[in-house]
Amino acid sequence: MKEINYAHNDTFNGERITCTSKYNKPRLREELEEIRRSASRRGIPVSGPETLNFLRTFLLAAKPANILEIGTAVGLSASLMAETCPYAHITTIEKNEAFYAEALENFRKLGIDDRIRAVCGDAAEALGTLSGKYSLIFLDGAKAQYVKYLPALKALLDDGGALVADDVLLFGYVTGEEPTPPKRRMLVEHIKEYLAAVTSDSDFATTVLNVGNGVSVSVKISVADTENKIQG
């Protein structure tokens, strides 16, 4: 890739160090570690170790059969998900053509391209073309758009499925743990809107985890579990 055209460079500083980072390390196999290293070297935004470790642990428990990812970048998290769930089919959406092309190449090299449908395009548009249901959605695209995507993602999620959103604490700015730089204020407001929407929706049970840059896990309450809904 000659030139990186990434519109969100100013929102990506890698993953912050949390008090649990030293325990939450993924054991990536060498090929995935190389994709991570190469992306990091070139400033391409990919999930950090804590988030990858969380994803792997969660996937091993949840065993999703159909996964949707918003924000492929060069395919690191999609590859981790494909390896962790060898029975799963993954759809992943990326608008940056150079990242998309590199992700396709990585999937091919890893021999997982037959289980990953990579879509190149804007997520808002691509979501409208999807049908079927997903048992896990990994939301890792433009953070400012999370709240806008929520209705479509909810409709695409199976009952009992999980919507996992990355970067919801954004370096500690969202909780006020770190002062928000002026240029990130709007973004922080959008993330707060997402968290407010998903935590107040009685169709979801949500927990926000202080892992990496913050991960929220929202499980769509199934009809069979409706008595577990807490109203208000």
Ligand X SMILES: C[S@@+](CC[C@H](N)C(=O)[O-])C[C@H]1O[C@@H](n2cnc3c(N)ncnc32)[C@H](O)[C@@H]1O
Footprint on this chain of ligand X (rule: CB under 6 A)? 6, 8, 45-47, 71, 73, 76-77, 93-96, 99, 122-123, 140-142, 145
Which residue number, 36 or 154, has a Cβ lying nearer to ligand X?
36
Angle at 138 between CA 116 and CA 10, to 5 degrees: 105
Closer to ligand X by Cβ: residue 76 or 137: 76
User: Residue 220 CB, nearest distance to ligand X (Å)?
Assistant: 21
Q: Smallest gap, in angstroms, from Cβ of residue 39 to ligand X?
A: 7
Distance CA 58, CA 165 (A): 13
Nearest approach in angstroms of CB 11 to ligand X is 9
- What are phi and psi for residue 160, nearest 5 degrees? 85, -5
Whether residue 88 contacts residue 115, with contact meaning beta carbons closer than 8 Å, is answered with: yes
If the CB atoms of residues 72 and 221 are measured against ligand X, the closer one turns out to be 72
Q: Which of 59, 91, 62 is nearest to 78 (CA)?
A: 91
Sign of CA dihedral 90, 124, 210, 184: positive
CB of 1 to ligand X, least distance (A): 12
Sheet holding 157-166, edge to edge: 116-120, 89-94, 66-70, 134-139, 157-166, 215-220, 204-209
Choose between 133 and 148: whose C-beta lies nearer to ligand X. 148
CB burial readout 166-194, b (16+ within 10 A) else e: bbbbbbbbbeeeeebeeebeebbebbbeb
Shortest spacing between CB 146 and ligand X, in angstroms:
11
For residue 204, what are the β-bridge partners?
220
Q: Which is nearer to ligand X, 173 or 221 (CB)?
A: 173
In angstroms, what is the minimal distance from the CB of 12 to ligand X?
Answer: 7
Of 164 and 198, the one with the shorter C-beta distance to ligand X is 164
